[in-house]
């Protein structure tokens, strides 16, 4: 087999699904927030879920992360059904959502925040703690090295000693990503991570996400910032009124008449209200 053929084989290799959303429906009383939602997030890809306000994005996010139970359907991650799992059980499977300001301990240092996150990850290994002191000491060193590495990766290592509460808005969000990474995700889920950020904070955040995906972490992004979504996504799923109206790579979504119509329609409603 020659080199070209090898390359062709590689391109033809089918993508492995990581997360599968199958026939998900969510009703809030009489309101149908999501009806028959089906999509797949492949291993290693960045998939963005977009759509006008009220489209059902956060609801879908909450279903996947175990904060809401679907009325119908199933979510599977790497072959395991997530139905009925509690949020911490979903996290333990490697699906980790970012935490906003509230989950950061404001009055301890940035470094201690990440170290605490790493300790929480290992808390099931109680025997290590109770029985093996030397081993525990070594592992404490390992954890400290790992915390430093994570802070390096998200670009706030120079803030390690500062109190988390004293960080700028953008840096607090980056600390949120660091805490998520401390939980050892194979898939990271973010709901509007750059909302409220200025352009330079958003650009920094995008570079960090690029680095995270470079480590092989699959990413599901719910986001309003279109330049960011178009710049970072491998594929985009567009929701409107709880249904998928388009799905594809950024270039195809940008020019899709139905997508443009959905957003224009929202603009028209907004203008009518103003």
Ligand X SMILES: Nc1ncnc2c1ncn2[C@@H]1O[C@H](COP(=O)(O)OP(=O)(O)O)[C@@H](O)[C@H]1O
Binding site for Mg ion (CB under 5 A): 57-58
Which residue's CB is nearer to ligand X, number 62 or number 204?
A: 62
DSSP 12-66: HSPPPEEEEEEEEEEEETTEEEEEEEEEEEETT-EEEEE-STTSSHHHHHHHHTT
SS3 128: helix
Six token digits for residue 117: 């996150």
Is residue 169 part of the contact set for ligand X (CB under 6 A)? no
What does 33 interact with, of Mg ion, ligand X, none (CB < 5 to 8 A by kind)? ligand X
Helix (H) or strand (E) holding 189: strand 187-191
CB 32 within 8 A of CB 25: yes
Contact flag: residue 59 with ligand X (CB under 6 A): yes
With CB under 6 A as the contact rule, which of the stretches 57-65, 97-105, 129-137, 138-146 interacts with ligand X?
57-65
Question: Looking at 25-33, 113-121, 125-133, 246-254, which segment touches ligand X (CB under 6 A)?
Answer: 25-33
Cα radius of gyration rounded to whole Å, the chain: 20
Distance between CA 144 and CA 124 in Å, rounded?
19
Q: Does 56 bind ligand X (CB under 6 A)?
A: yes
Query: 20, 42, 58, 266: which one contacts ligand X (CB under 6 A)?
Result: 58
Assess 130 for contact with ligand X (CB under 6 A): no
Among 57, 97, 173, 235, binds ligand X (CB under 6 A): 57
Question: Smaller CB distance to Mg ion: residue 57 or 173?
Answer: 57
List the one residue from 17, 54, 94, 250 that touches ligand X (CB under 6 A). Answer: 54
Cβ-based neighbour number of residue 180 at 10 Å? 24
Q: Which residues bind ligand X (CB under 6 A)?
A: 28, 31, 33, 51, 53-59
């Amino acid at each position: 087999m020659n080199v070209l053929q090898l390359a062709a084989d590689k391109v033809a290799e089918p993508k492995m699904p990581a997360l599968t959303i199958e026939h998900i429906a969510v009703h809030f009383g009489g309101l149908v927030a999501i009806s028959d939602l089906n999509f797949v997030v492949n291993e290693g890809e960045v998939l963005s879920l977009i759509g006008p306000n009220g489209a059902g994005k956060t609801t879908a996010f909450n279903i996947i992360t175990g904060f809401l139970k679907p009325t119908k359907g199933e979510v599977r991650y790497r072959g395991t059904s997530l139905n009925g799992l509690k949020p911490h059980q979903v996290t333990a499977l490697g699906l980790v959502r970012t935490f906003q300001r509230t989950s950061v301990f404001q009055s301890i240092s940035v470094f201690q925040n990440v170290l605490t996150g790493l300790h929480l990850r290992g808390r099931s290994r109680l025997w290590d703690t109770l029985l093996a002191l030397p081993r525990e000491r070594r592992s404490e060193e390992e954890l400290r090295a790992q915390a430093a590495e994570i802070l390096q990766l998200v670009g706030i290592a120079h803030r390690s000693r500062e109190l988390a509460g004293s960080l700028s808005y953008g840096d607090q969000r980056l600390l949120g990503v660091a805490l998520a990474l401390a939980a050892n995700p194979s898939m990271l889920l973010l709901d509007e991570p750059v909302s409220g950020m200025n352009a330079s904070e958003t650009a920094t955040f995008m570079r960090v996400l690029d680095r995270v995906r470079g480590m092989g972490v699959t990413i599901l992004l719910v986001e309003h910032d279109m330049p960011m979504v178009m710049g970072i996504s491998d594929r985009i799923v567009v929701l409107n009124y709880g249904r998928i109206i388009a799905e594809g790579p950024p270039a195809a979504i940008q020019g899709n008449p139905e997508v443009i119509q959905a957003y224009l329609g929202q603009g028209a409603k907004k203008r009518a209200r103003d």
